[in-house]
Structure 1
Amino acid sequence: MELYLKVRLACADGMSQRAAARHFNVSRDTVRKMLSYSAPPGYRRTAAVRRPKLEGFVSIIDGWLEGDRSVPRKQRHTAKRVYDRLRAEHGFTGGYTIIKDYIREREQRSREVFVPLAHAPGHAQADFGEALVEIGGVVQKAHYFMLDLPQSDACYVRAYPAAVAEAWMDGHVHAFAFFGALPLSILYDNDRCLVSKILPDGTRQRATLFSAFLSHYLIRDRYGRPGKGNDKGNVEGVVGFARRNFMVPMPRFATWDDFNLWLEEQCRGRQQAVLRGERETIGERLQRDLAAMQALPPAPFEACHQISGQVTSQALVRYRTNDYSVPARFGHQEVWIRGYVDEVVIGCRGEIIARHVRSYRREEVIFDPLHYLALIEQKPGALDLAAPLQGWDLPERFPVLRRLMEARMGQHGRREYIQVLRLLESFALADLHEAVKQAIAMGAISFDAVKHLVLCRLERRPARLDLTLYPYLPRARVETTSARSYLRLLWSRPGRWCRL
């Protein structure tokens, strides 16, 4: 630009173009162009680029690239593959560069252009994202639910071990509680947890649990085109924002609840931000969303998947490929099963009979040892081989109590030890452990003594294990034996003689 200015000033002072070209060591055509334009115009092409060697093969290349739309991305033609095929199959004599340039320009022309959208207050978009996290010392994939309000850009994030239907519903319930209101409508993709089938006319056949959710909250559902994430571009962008800002570095928490509480804090903190092109914070714009949204119903939706099942002969119930135990007395009975995101609840008629932490693995067997103690009491020989008791981490004094009981009472001692374990059906492990330690210290090795001690501990009264004052035994008077009483027994039947 400096040379441009010097040439123009020299010519303005009366220097000829020929003299200026000689003085500044540039061509006269360059001087003429400098005088014609006040700033360098850059290179200007007056005619389209012609590639004579390629023009006869353009239709062939276009046909190959159009056919690539129906095959996986990793099996599509590269510029090198197009060049090789043209040479081998069609006698192409040009170079590789013109092939590469044509394909690049063609891709640029075919890229989709999007229309900027304006969003009315009160509407939302929902989606799921994925990221690696460490929960309880185990690195695993977290599936995080995202609800975004596009008008204000306010969002809510909640993480789950899996993106199942219950997680979708539970994420909505927590998001509504976080904002304190219901959106007028929510835009979704066509996830299988929400849409079981797309009919030929484009309408969606909703999944059963999702239909119940919409009926409970009376929210209008909208859907993007299959495979077109840009239809809900706002929530897609916030999903990426959460991954880059909330998941880097890798989050490390003891439990999922701790992680989700931290995520809620991040969502609240983000409301103080002012985004590009806006003058208000996210929190200030959120007030317009909340003013347009609906009030929450009196009770939240119960986000669970409910089915019926039957207890097997081993007191197990199957749910999502995993087997969960129930008390043995319910064997072979019909039960109902509710799958929540964090637990599995099993009931029979109107009674809840079992609760388990939900497993997201496959073909696992989840036992509760207490469910089998009543059955093992009837079959004490199975105590050592019972699978539900394997790996049961009882305090160290329990095995000591068992050894003492079996040493003093043999087979009956094993049965009494099982009865002591059954006290866990009614008492906390910590209280029973203290009672066991106290019984061993006092030498009161029996089920009755342990039960008495744990009751005294809970009722905050002193233990009374002296037999003269034992509350559960009737008082008895024992007399000394006399010879007369013995003889009376010998002569009690007439006609019988006894030689003394």
Structure 2
Amino acid sequence: MGMLAKIRRMHLRDGLSIREVSRRTGLSRNTVRQWLRQEGVTEPKYPKREAASAVDAWAEHLASALKADQHRPVRDRRTVKMLFEQIRALGYAGSYARVTRWVRGWRAEQDAAPRRAAFVPMSFELGDAFQFDWSCEYVFVGGLRRRLEVAHTKLASSRAFWLTAYPTQSHEMLFDAHARAFQALGGVPRRGVYDNMKTAVDKVGVGKQRSVNARFQAMCSHYLFEPEFCNPASGWEKGIVEKNVQDRRRQVWREASERRWPDLATLNAWLAERCRACWAETAHPEWPALTVADVLQDEQARLMPCPKPFDGYVEQPVRVSATALVHFQRNRYSVPTRHVNAVLSLRAYPDTLVLVADGVEVARHTRSFERDLTFYDWQHYIPLVQTKPGALRNGAPFKAMPEVLQTLQRHLLRHAGGDRVMAQVLAAVPVHGLEAVLVAAEIALEAGRPSAEHVLNVLARLKDGTTAIRELAQPTPALKEEPRADVQRYDALRNPQEARP
């Protein structure tokens, strides 16, 4: 268009000949003459020269592979290098640059193609609904790069969100995520929008029919909100929280992935601070003059009050082995030896395991998500070593005893019968308490010749001293009637016949 206008100005306005116009523009005289004879002012377009390429024979194969990758998660899609290696193994003889150029052009055509899908904008009332979803993120926790499942809970109206990271997507993690989110957001909306995750839906029926998991239904009943589930493969029905996953990856997880976290609790504490900071920094999409934190204050007045957290444990029966251990998720945890060969109830929380027998808690352990580990509580084995004191010498649970007791054990085992003496000392732990036994063991070690009698004697003296101090601390009762010094009262106790005349 620019060259045609230039030619017309030079010939029609400036009066230059066709020969002179051709000399100045570098075009042939026939081309200049042909353009000037056209009635319109449209510059002609010449077809692009088509040259055969070595990729043309593999275009269909590459296109089908790229279309298949569009239905896969981003992390599972094949790179251009991988596609090049595949077709080269099948007989492609061209260069890698030709494949990258073809793939780049194919993707540009796909981006320029019209989109058939159309969506209706959604609007939610304050306190009406929240949307929930999971995302997979990678960060360094405890010195290792770990895969974490992040729970996203976002209010549909105010756009306030809450993030919590977990090792898995199990039921107890789901329940804990709701409890934390409702507590942080200041209340519970009337509805919750979910996809068809396995921890909530046991079976997807026709239309909106769902077979809801019993434990998930119990949680919804506890918080008094109504669950709603999207149609299969219809993530746009909860697009607010889907977009939140993308935004938080650019805003929060980019920073989190650059840092090193000692444990998951520290990471979640930092996520809580970042969520609140984002509320104050982010403008609301519908009311740009207000921040998310400002709109959240208005929405909190319309939320249902947040009750006490739902006791969201997952319970299963476990049998105690002959070594007083129970197995859970490829790890072993100790219980008191009196429950050997019994069946206990194991209640799994996000960070704790509780063992229950007849409704009474008998053991508690910090939950581990590693594999093939054993976690002992050496106090569980104290009753057993009373009958088997020889097990103290190489007993695995007793390697976790406090350093004072291990030092005392080394002193006692130098002499014959030292294991039995040490068993007597450990038998005092359930009676007097661990702190008192540790103090008595330190005093006995300072004496130079520790023994069970010495430790038990110190414990008795400590107990008596504590009792005496407690008695002295009590107020002295006041007398209602002062005593009188009357010795004649003793004569009334004598037999009258024995009285002197």
TM-score for the superposition, normalised by structure 1: 0.71
Query: What residue is the counterpart of 2:310 in the other structure?
Result: 301
Asked if residue 365 in structure 1 is aligned to residue 374 in structure 2, the reply is yes
**Aligned residue type for 2:313:** C
What is the SS of the residue equivalent to 1:271? Answer: helix
Which of 328, 333, 339 is residue 330 of structure 1 equivalent to?
339
Summarize deviations over 1:58-110 as a string: whole Å, max 9, x none: 9x969x949975998669997999999999xxxxxxx9999979966874548
Summarize deviations over 1:200-235 as a string: whole Å, max 9, x none: 555222223212111212222223343444443332
Query: What residue is the counterpart of 1:214 in the other structure?
Result: 220
Higher mean displacement: 173-182 or 431-440: 431-440
What is the SS of the residue equivalent to 1:272? Answer: helix
- The two structures, once aligned, show a CA RMSD in angstroms of 4.8
1:64-83 matches, within 5 Å, as 65=64
User: Structure 1 residues 427, 141: CA separation in 2 closer, same or farther (over 3 Å shift)?
Assistant: farther
Distance in 2 of aligned mates of 1:171 and 1:98:
46
Query: What residue is the counterpart of 2:456 in the other structure?
Result: 448
Asked if residue 392 in structure 1 is aligned to residue 400 in structure 2, the reply is yes
| CA positional deviation for 1:371 | 0.7
Which of 398, 401, 405 is residue 408 of structure 2 equivalent to?
401
Distance in 2 of aligned mates of 1:106 and 1:5:
32
Which of 216, 219, 234 is residue 240 of structure 2 equivalent to?
234
User: Structure 1 residues 353, 98: CA separation in 2 closer, same or farther (over 3 Å shift)?
Assistant: closer
Which of 340, 344, 348 is residue 349 of structure 2 equivalent to?
340
Q: Is the 8 A contact 2:4 2:43 kept in 1?
A: no
Which of 192, 197, 203 is residue 197 of structure 1 equivalent to?
203
Distance in 2 of aligned mates of 1:81 and 1:130:
29
Q: Is the 8 A contact 2:152 2:241 kept in 1?
A: yes
Asked if residue 184 in structure 1 is aligned to residue 190 in structure 2, the reply is yes
**Aligned residue type for 2:163:** V
Distance in 1 of aligned mates of 2:385 and 2:110:
72
Which of 301, 316, 324 is residue 325 of structure 2 equivalent to?
316
1:44-193 matches, within 5 Å, as 65=64, 107=110, 109=113, 113-115=117-119, 117-121=121-125, 122-193=128-199
**Aligned residue type for 2:389:** P
| CA positional deviation for 1:449 | 2.5
What is the SS of the residue equivalent to 2:280? Answer: coil
Query: What residue is the counterpart of 1:380 in the other structure?
Result: 389
| CA positional deviation for 1:175 | 0.2
Distance in 2 of aligned mates of 1:242 and 1:100:
30
Which of 234, 240, 265 is residue 273 of structure 2 equivalent to?
265
Distance in 1 of aligned mates of 2:402 and 2:88:
72
Query: What residue is the counterpart of 1:252 in the other structure?
Result: 260
User: Structure 1 residues 336, 81: CA separation in 2 closer, same or farther (over 3 Å shift)?
Assistant: closer
**Aligned residue type for 2:280:** Q
User: Structure 1 residues 78, 142: CA separation in 2 closer, same or farther (over 3 Å shift)?
Assistant: closer
> Which structure 2 segments of 5+ residues have no match?
93-97, 471-501
Summarize deviations over 1:350-379 as a string: whole Å, max 9, x none: 311110011223454332111111111111
Query: What residue is the counterpart of 1:483 in the other structure?
Result: none
Higher mean displacement: 317-326 or 124-133: 317-326
Query: What residue is the counterpart of 1:434 in the other structure?
Result: 439
Query: What residue is the counterpart of 1:279 in the other structure?
Result: 289
| CA positional deviation for 1:154 | 1.5
Q: Is the 8 A contact 2:383 2:427 kept in 1?
A: yes
Distance in 2 of aligned mates of 1:107 and 1:78:
18
Summarize deviations over 1:213-262 as a string: whole Å, max 9, x none: 11212222223343444443332332233333333243433343332222
1:347-358 matches, within 5 Å, as 347-358=356-367
User: Structure 1 residues 461, 61: CA separation in 2 closer, same or farther (over 3 Å shift)?
Assistant: same
Distance in 1 of aligned mates of 2:143 and 2:65:
49
Summarize deviations over 1:444-485 as a string: whole Å, max 9, x none: 5234134236547867969xxxxxxxxxxxxxxxxxxxxxxx
Q: Is the 8 A contact 1:322 1:365 kept in 2?
A: yes
| CA positional deviation for 1:139 | 4.1
Distance in 2 of aligned mates of 1:276 and 1:17:
65
Length, aligned pairs only: 443
User: Structure 1 residues 132, 80: CA separation in 2 closer, same or farther (over 3 Å shift)?
Assistant: closer
| CA positional deviation for 1:438 | 1.0
TM-score for the superposition, normalised by structure 2: 0.71
Distance in 2 of aligned mates of 1:177 and 1:273:
21
